[in-house]
């Protein structure tokens, strides 16, 4: 196991791109064409969901309408072969009200993200998002 690798550095660049609001081709560059993202059930997605590349990009576009800014603070990371596991604290400033949070309020979550790489890009992403009450 390692705490540093090209795949981990790629993952960090991906999270920085998300923070910067990347969408479209800028975001697609991080993903293998056969990517699948599995978002496990949480308060925002009670049934969970699986997204392909087109759905990931559409979700990023929708996110831009709801979130003015976001930040990922990686608190731990591990790399094994083509796999990267990241634990992070996420916060976002909302453009629109959500639950008890007003527009301009801060939404927070603790995240477990697990990435698998193929050909130097993300081919699988599994998210376990634990949102603070909102």
pLDDT tens string 3-29: 679 999 999 999 999 999 999 999 999
pLDDT band at 96 (very low <50, low <70, confident <90, very high): very high
Pick from 21, 36, 19, 27: which is nearest to 74 by CA? 19
pLDDT band at 95 (very low <50, low <70, confident <90, very high): very high
Domain ranges, ordered by start, for the chain: 6-131
Please tell us whether the domain made up of 6-131 is placed in CATH 3.40.50.970. Answer: no
Give the residue-averaged pLDDT of 112-134.
Answer: 98
Q: What pTM value is reported for the model?
A: 0.94
Please give the order of strands across the beta sheet that includes 83-94.
Answer: 49-51, 31-39, 121-131, 106-118, 83-94, 67-80
Pick from 33, 59, 24, 48: which is nearest to 122 by CA? 33
Q: Does the pLDDT value for residue 102 go beyond 80?
A: yes
């Amino acid at each position: 196991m390692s705490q540093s690798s090209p795949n981990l550095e790629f993952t960090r660049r991906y999270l920085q791109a998300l923070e910067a609001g990347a969408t479209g081709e800028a975001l697609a560059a991080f993903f293998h064409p056969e990517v699948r993202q599995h978002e496990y059930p949480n308060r925002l997605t009670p049934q969970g969901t699986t997204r392909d590349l087109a759905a990931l990009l559409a979700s990023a576009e929708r996110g831009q309408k709801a979130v003015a800014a976001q930040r990922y603070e990686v608190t731990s990371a591990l790399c094994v072969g083509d796999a990267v596991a990241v634990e992070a604290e996420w916060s976002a400033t909302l453009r629109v009200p959500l639950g008890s949070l007003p527009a301009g309020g801060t939404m927070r979550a603790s995240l477990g993200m697990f990435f698998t790489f193929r050909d130097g890009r993300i081919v699988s992403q599994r998210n376990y998002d634990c949102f603070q009450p909102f």
